[in-house]
Amino acid sequence: MKKTHGGTSPEDLSVLARRGLLSEAEESELERALQADPELQVAHRVGLDMDLCTAVRAGDEALVSKAADAAMMRVAASGLASPHAARAPRAGRRFASVLLVAALVCATGAAAAMWAGLVPARFLGRAASGSGATGAVVPPQINVPPTASAALGAQPKDPEPVADSLREMAPVVVHPSPVVAGAAHASAESTAAALFTSANAARRGGNFSNAEKLYSQLIARYPSSDEARLARLSLGKLLLAQGDSTDAERQFGQYLKGEHGELAEEALVSRAQSLRNLGRANAERVTWQRLLAEHPNSVYAAEARGRIDALRRVVNAPGP
């Protein structure tokens, strides 16, 4: 691993490029290094892919908050919450063993309570729902007794609710189910999903008219499905790209009418852009303001503020 003329290793140049912190000279150096080093080239490419895939999404804040609450409840339920217990790693193996037993007792007790219906599964957060990774947590080697953390991670699994099982099985149901209503619902979901996938494929393939048709079909046939809601957003973006801002704005508006979807942020931005195209300055300003109010940490916040300022300047500008 040779260092570049500037003293920064090529790997670090790649990292700094991902953070947007390279000078022009460093950019050239990175370019040369990428040409010369196929391993670096692959690593850089994958790093960029990762940056795209791990970007912050709407709804992350709620997800993190929920996980933090659930984690704290797990810690509290395990008996490790007090400062002394939290310092268990220093107290030696014997104490860790005691903690393990205590945590297991706690976990099995909680499981029994859930089976008996005394404690709702949601009390222990999603990890106890039986749908997630509830195996042992093995934190870093640093001062964490694997036994204690494993005991914490070994959350009891509650019995899978019948409705959830049906929902999960829905896409692969082939034989008639005795639960007729459930099966019908499953079939509709499956078809809505298939339509949505086909529409996306058509859009990506550049067949926009077919994509529009499929999205519209999906919305008409399964108006209350999750896919239909997302289809409104995709259709709106298609229409916006084709210059049909009126219909696009209508689709974004429909998307935003329901309960807050995880793409509400994107829908608001697209709606504001549609309104801008339509010259509806007031409505555009209100939409940007709503974006800032509902998603203050949005990546579009700067754009929103810029547009609000610009619109204000237009309003305040002296007439000709």
Q: Which of 5, 24, 52, 220 binds other proteins (CB under 8 A)?
A: 52
Q: Which of residues 136-175 bind other proteins (CB under 8 A)?
A: 136-140, 142-145, 148-149, 152-153, 167-172
Type of residue found at 85: A
Give dist(CA 258, CA 42) in Å, integer: 43
Query: Is residue 182 close enough to count as binding other proteins by CB under 8 A?
Result: no
Comparing CB distances to other proteins, the nearer of 25 and 71 is 71
Give dist(CA 186, CA 172) in Å, integer: 9
Give dist(CA 108, CA 151) in Å, integer: 11
Q: Which of residues 277-306 bind other proteins (CB under 8 A)?
A: none
Q: What tokens were used for 282?
A: 């007031």
Q: What tokens were used for 274?
A: 């549609």
Per the CB < 8 A criterion, the answer to whether 103 and 151 are in contact is yes
Q: Which of residues 82-101 bind other proteins (CB under 8 A)?
A: 82-83, 86-90
Q: Which of 5, 94, 175, 204 binds other proteins (CB under 8 A)?
A: 204
For other proteins, how many residues bind (rule: CB under 8 A)? 96
Query: Is residue 38 close enough to count as binding other proteins by CB under 8 A?
Result: yes
Give dist(CA 65, CA 251) in Å, integer: 31
Query: Is residue 11 close enough to count as binding other proteins by CB under 8 A?
Result: yes
Given the rule CB under 8 A, which of 81-89, 175-183, 284-292, 306-314 is the region that contacts other proteins?
81-89
Looking up tokens 């504001």 gives 272
Residue 304, classed as helix, strand or coil, is helix
Q: Which of 41, 207, 277, 289 binds other proteins (CB under 8 A)?
A: 41
Looking up tokens 């040369």 gives 32
Furthest-apart CA pair in the chain: how many Å? 85
Q: Which of 32, 43, 166, 290 binds other proteins (CB under 8 A)?
A: 43
Q: Which of 4, 134, 207, 210 binds other proteins (CB under 8 A)?
A: 134
